[in-house]
Amino acid sequence: MDVRPTAIAGLLELRPTPHRDHRGFFSRTFDLAAGLEAGIDGRDFVQDSLSRSAYGVLRGLHVRTGAGENKLVRCSSGRVYDVVVDLRPGSATYRHWLSFDLDGDLQNSIYVPAGCAHGFQALTDPADTAYRIDREHAPGEDLTIAWDDPELAIDWPLPVTAMSEADRAAAPLSASAEGLARIAPA
């Protein structure tokens, strides 16, 4: 498994090598030894979740306040345009974002460190996105940032076909000072 650092400290892309033959493929989606070498302790994951999205659906931008949460995200089937925004006070890349094409055929994944917001848009119908999270869900620590915040100027690839009402009503960074103040520093 190839683990690649990114321009945002702690945000990693993991690229396995799927073994392909006439039946399809087999891929290791996480390897504890490779993870530990890259600073990811896979023994910390306590929850696995899966979302299924139709073409054009946008989910996010979500971040956990307080101690935050680390998560490993991959598109297990289909493709998504995945975005991570660094919201950690004191980080050299504070309020910067990066995007990734997560692809079910490649089985690549990203490790999103605590304090970074995450969202994605489905590029296929359907797109299944799998998450491994190191903390149990605590609804009182959820913060959603507007997906179309002009300060971030994220270039989403498709018109949005659907999103949750909570995501649609999310405030931009400029109106989220109270929630952002609860994010642990880098």
Map 90-146 to HEC letters: CCCCCCCEEEEEEECCCCCEEEECCCEEEEEEECCCCEEEEEEECCCCCHHHEEEEC
81 is catalytic: no
Residues 150, 124, 105, 28, CA torsion sign: positive
Catalytic residue among 19, 22, 62, 94: 62
Annotated active-site residue 111? The verdict is no
Q: Is the dihedral of CA 151, 156, 161, 162 positive or negative?
A: negative
Place of tokens 């076909």: 161
Catalytic residues, by residue number, are 62, 131
